[in-house]
C-alpha cells in the first residue's frame, strides 16, 4: 500500500469487542478518502475515540464532534446495547452509520469541508440546512460505498450472538 497512514491514536468503547474491526475500517476509509480527494492528514488531532450509546440523541444515530483538546469524539448508536436482534439489516445499519461518521473523521483529519455544490435550499428550515451542509452531503454520498467496501467485517460481526 505504500507509506503507512499517520492516523492518530484510536480508542473504542462498544459492548462487543470490535476495536480491531473499527480501526481497520477507519484506516481504509481515511486512506481512500485521502487518495480520492488528494488530501493529507494534518497534525491537528492526536486521538479519536469511538463509543457506543444506547438511546437516540435527538433522533441521531451517530455524531462526530471535534474537541478542543485534539480529540475527535464519535458516538454511534450501538444495537447490542439496545439488545436488538443482530440480523443482517441491523448489522448493515450499524456499519452504514459507522461509515458515515468515519467520513466526518476523515474530513476533520484532513481539514476538508465536504462537497462544494450550489443547491438552493430554505435557510430557515433546519432540516434542509442539515442535509445540504457540504460535510453532510459528502458523508451521505460516501457512506454506502464505504460500508460496502470496508464494512464487511463489521456487518458480519455479532450476527450469531
CA dist 76 and 21 (Å) reads 15
Q: Residue 160: pLDDT above 70?
A: no
Could you report the per-residue pLDDT of 92-133, keeping only the tens digit for each?
999 999 999 999 999 999 999 999 888 889 989 998 998 999
Instruction: Give Cα 131 to chain centroid, integer Å.
Output: 16
pLDDT of 4 strictly over 70: no
Give the start-to-end residue ranges of the domains of the chain: 9-154
Look up residue 51 and give its three cell numbers: 463509543
**For position 50, what pLDDT does the model report?**
97
Amino acid at each position: 500500500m505504500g507509506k503507512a497512514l499517520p492516523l492518530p491514536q484510536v480508542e473504542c468503547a462498544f459492548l462487543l469487542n470490535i476495536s480491531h474491526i473499527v480501526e481497520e475500517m477507519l484506516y481504509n476509509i481515511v486512506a481512500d478518502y485521502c487518495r480520492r480527494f488528494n488530501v493529507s492528514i494534518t497534525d491537528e488531532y492526536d486521538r479519536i475515540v469511538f463509543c457506543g450509546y444506547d438511546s437516540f440523541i435527538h433522533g441521531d444515530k451517530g455524531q462526530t464532534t471535534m474537541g478542543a483538546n485534539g480529540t475527535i469524539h464519535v458516538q454511534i448508536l450501538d444495537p447490542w446495547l439496545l439488545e436488538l436482534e443482530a440480523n443482517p439489516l441491523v448489522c448493515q445499519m450499524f456499519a452504514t452509520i459507522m461509515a458515515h461518521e468515519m467520513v466526518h473523521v476523515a474530513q476533520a483529519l484532513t481539514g476538508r469541508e465536504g462537497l462544494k455544490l450550489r443547491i438552493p435550499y430554505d435557510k430557515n428550515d433546519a432540516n434542509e440546512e442539515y442535509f445540504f451542509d457540504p460535510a453532510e452531503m459528502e458523508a451521505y454520498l460516501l457512506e454506502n460505498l464505504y460500508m460496502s467496501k470496508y464494512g464487511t467485517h463489521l456487518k458480519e460481526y455479532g450476527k450469531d450472538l
